[in-house]
Structure 1
Amino acid sequence: MANAEHVSAAKPKTGGAIYRAPLGTDLPTDATTALNAAFKCLGYCGEDGLVNTNSPDSDSVKAWGGDTVLTYQKSKEDTFKFTLLEVLNPDVLKAVHGDDNVTGTLATGITVNANSAQPAGCCWVMEMILRDGALKRIAIPNAAITEVGDITYADDETIGYETTITAVPDAEGNTHYEYIKGASV
């Protein structure tokens, strides 16, 4: 039976919703356990939130006469898209440009080297609050940045890094894990 109480929107968890850590960092296995200290918060994200594309790309074989006789999956890419807004945050710059390409702090001066180095795979966690305080956490064992949108510098626009990460399967064949827990009453 349909239940409107199971319908929800998602808001970022207070204090940040997207976290990144070096590959191999222990991932959470539930919605509420504290994250490993290696995870760095990437701060505010754009108002479009987080978009996960996880749809199979399929093809069909047709027989003479037009009947579809076989449908098969060609691929199933798992991507996450979001816009990082904290362009003065060294952890954001390291996520976008690579850890080895960013040095310094805002106080001492930040240097960013833009080059064609292959983006490294990292662990990622996305945290959000659902209806009635339920928590949702997405844990991604291994994903690298596969696209960064155009960066606009203008008087009337916020600078941001429109970022797409692509997850690859872990040892169990999973590209990401989702955990949901209702609020304590």
Structure 2
Amino acid sequence: MVTIDRSSDLTTIGANGGGWVAPVGTSSPADPATQPLPPWAPLGAISDDGLKYGFDEDSQEFTPWGLTSPFRTIITKSVRTFGMTLWETSRTTVKSVMYRLDEADLTPTAGVTSYAETASPSPDRRAWWFVVMDGETLNGFYVPQGEISDRSDVTFKRDEMSGYEITITAYPDEAGNTVYHLDKLPDTPVYTGS
């Protein structure tokens, strides 16, 4: 009889997590279990929808004459995205990423912070760090060059939390990589075939 090998220690539920942002060129934290230090700035509370890691890929199939299935496929597009809703809309770091502003430009004067949105936004690439936690399991995602590529509408309503729903697109770094994974996982038992 076949024995099915299962281990709940090797599953992940996004029970908790966080996000940080820093200038492009900032190194990733060395361990997903340690608190990132400046220049990493926290994104604060993320909605209970958590973090969505997206894959957008296209491919081209080549089917030779006389066959009905392809004998080769190449990837023509491969994009990685991260999506979340930032709830701490009054946090200057969050306003900075939402409106493509330098955080220093959001310093209040006489208790009032004023800023303007431009009709011609410039690219705003930053480094991003995300951690997903589930007990002893931690998944870290380092995006050395990412930019908010999609922003949803913001609702101000009595029975709804206002938030900035954003999508970050990861761009290749000098090594051609878009996302680095730093995972802290339990040891996997050796499969013995029994």
Taking structure 1 as the reference length, what is the TM-score of the superposition? 0.86
Q: How far did residue 121 of structure 1 move?
A: 0.6
CA distance in 1, matches of 2:157, 2:109: 21
- Pair 1:124 & 2:128 matched: yes
Q: What is the root-mean-square deviation in Å for CA atoms of aligned residues?
A: 2.2
Higher mean C-alpha displacement, 120-129 vs 23-32 = 23-32
Q: How many residues align?
A: 179
Q: How far did residue 155 of structure 1 move?
A: 2.3
1:12 maps to 16
* Structure 1 residue ranges without an equivalent (≥5): none
- Pair 1:178 & 2:181 matched: yes
List, as ranges, runs of 4+ consecutive aligned residues in structure 1 with deviation greater than 4 Å: none
Q: Give 1:125's aligned amino acid.
A: W
CA distance in 1, matches of 2:110, 2:35: 29
- Pair 1:32 & 2:33 matched: yes
Q: What SS does structure 2 have at the residue aligned with 1:78? A: strand
What percent identity do the matched residue pairs reach?
Answer: 27
Q: How far did residue 161 of structure 1 move?
A: 0.7
Query: Is the CA contact (8 Å cut-off) linking 1:143 and 1:167 kept in structure 2?
Result: yes
Q: What SS does structure 1 have at the residue aligned with 2:154? A: coil
2:63 maps to 62
Q: Give 1:37's aligned amino acid.
A: P
Q: Give 2:128's aligned amino acid.
A: W
Q: How far did residue 60 of structure 1 move?
A: 1.2
Bigger radius of gyration: 2
Q: Give 1:81's aligned amino acid.
A: G
Query: Is the CA contact (8 Å cut-off) linking 1:97 and 1:112 kept in structure 2?
Result: no
CA distance in 2, matches of 1:42, 1:106: 23
